[in-house]
Structure 1
């Protein structure tokens, strides 16, 4: 595949070009959103803008906002990353998967790691949610909490799954699309180039910080940063974007599943989706031990050097064993 940019382009320039492609894809996304809104939902431009601001007041507000979320993430993030790879003359698999998937169980293990780490993460989530800024930044803290409350209200509206069909749409838009699109950007492009620019560990940590900061959730920064580290090292060790995508999808989809089951009254222990309380220590301690153990196993298996192919071949025939090179 031939691109119009040199493959030797500096990593920093590649990241800047990614931003440029994302801006172009944003223009395309807006065109698709408004065309879909007017053609599929029968709304005028003014009605669509009103619906975006107050989706709960519009009959088709839920569907419209889901469409906007999916198109924006898919085209802006996913499209921007794929466009950069193409511009550099890479096939998509070649750019984002420098190594072939070592084994299918890597994907299952990545998902299992996310499930195992959740009780441990509950402690970090509870701590970060209750954190306070210094007195000099009190006004900023008030603004930040109000901003996050508004975002939480929109999230609660979008994750109101009163039918199975809505839940399936949520799995696609809230779990699958972000898992694919965000991994292409943050691990596939940003981390890859930061690793080239600095070093493997610096690249992973910087990419995780950017991944967390871009969500603009000050009272959820640390747990999302740690999630970014886990996803980053899975990609660094495996060399295959499907592994971090599997982990990211598991994180999103499992939370949606718990939320849906709670809304249907299928969880008997009084699950509260809005709670930031830490789980009991008898959940957290095994979670920490299993997380460390699973990370160790994944690191050992994923970074193991594959055996070299044989340099000679022996053929058994009626004349005996023959050796060829």
Structure 2
């Protein structure tokens, strides 16, 4: 990664980006959700008495998916736009260090992601089975309670059978989230961390950790962090922000497609019910992913040499 023009210092930039995100996503996103729910027929009293569970409100699914989409637009895309275009006064194209790669590169990325699923599923299994020491049982109870609430919300969002619900969910959960989260965590945060730390590997892993933590799901932090790390290396090796964006959209979109097919009873496997990955699959997934990433890195380096010659 190299910087064509001078940029704001790393440490204050990271704080500004995270601050903007928290304001936009938590405050403005929360306000948008309340307004959308009220517009759909819910009263403020009912929302306060619901304890955060809006699934029983009038037109709940449509209202919640729209508010989720608008909240993500404001929280992620809005944060990236405000910081990069207003604070830094730069063009979107300056997030890229290299031109968008050839279509075959995206096919390679999809193959890497599919291969990676076995190992990441095992990390999810480890994460879900983590047991806190006796002295931290209170924290464990709180985190499990949060996890159960998020699981209910996810189940509610992804229980759809009509095609228009599937399309709307795909736009919100795959496209908007994929674009917005990669702009913030890879395009901005990873970039700024590298600018300050001067070590790309530390920047990638630290950005992946922040990406996982910011989702407020302790029992999904390991697989989400590793996805963030994978996206970070894809961005670093290709030098184009569209690569992790497409990878993120594929990851989320594939899950939405499988859930839709499961709801239609076309496939019999519910992603939420998979709680064990056989060790041979885990080992094959890990070795194959490392091998494919090594080949991918070498391929991108060879393409860079060819373009310079």
| TM-score, normalised with respect to structure 1 | 0.84
Distance in 2 separating the partners of 1:271 and 1:147: 25
Distance in 1 separating the partners of 2:225 and 2:14: 20
1:294 aligns with 2:284: no
Gaps of 5+ in 1: 1-5, 311-325
1:206 aligns with 2:171: no
Question: Corresponding residue for 1:271?
Answer: 269
Give 1:190 shift: 0.5
1:137 and 1:33, CA in 2 relative to 1: closer, same or farther beyond 3 A?
A: closer
1:33 and 1:148, CA in 2 relative to 1: closer, same or farther beyond 3 A?
A: closer
Question: Corresponding residue for 1:147?
Answer: 146
Specify the SS of the correspondent of 1:57: coil
Distance in 1 separating the partners of 2:81 and 2:282: 39
Question: What is the 5 A alignment of 1:41-60?
Answer: 41=40, 45-46=44-45, 53-60=52-59
1:32 and 1:141, CA in 2 relative to 1: closer, same or farther beyond 3 A?
A: closer
Which range is displaced more, 231-240 or 97-106? Answer: 97-106
Distance in 2 separating the partners of 1:164 and 1:53: 27
Specify the SS of the correspondent of 1:154: helix
Question: Corresponding residue for 1:11?
Answer: 10
Specify the SS of the correspondent of 1:108: helix
Which structure's residues are more often helix, by fraction? 2
Distance in 2 separating the partners of 1:109 and 1:308: 20
Specify the SS of the correspondent of 1:150: helix
Query: Does the 8 Å CA contact 1:99/1:239 hold for their aligned counterparts?
Result: yes
| TM-score, normalised with respect to structure 2 | 0.88
User: What RMSD in Å do the two structures reach over aligned CA positions?
Assistant: 2.4
Question: What is the 5 A alignment of 1:86-97?
Answer: 86-87=85-86, 88-94=88-94, 96-97=95-96
Distance in 1 separating the partners of 2:51 and 2:176: 20
Q: State which structure, 1 or 2, has the greater radius of gyration over its C-alpha atoms.
A: 1
Question: Corresponding residue for 1:317?
Answer: none
Distance in 2 separating the partners of 1:277 and 1:174: 23
Give 1:256 shift: 1.4
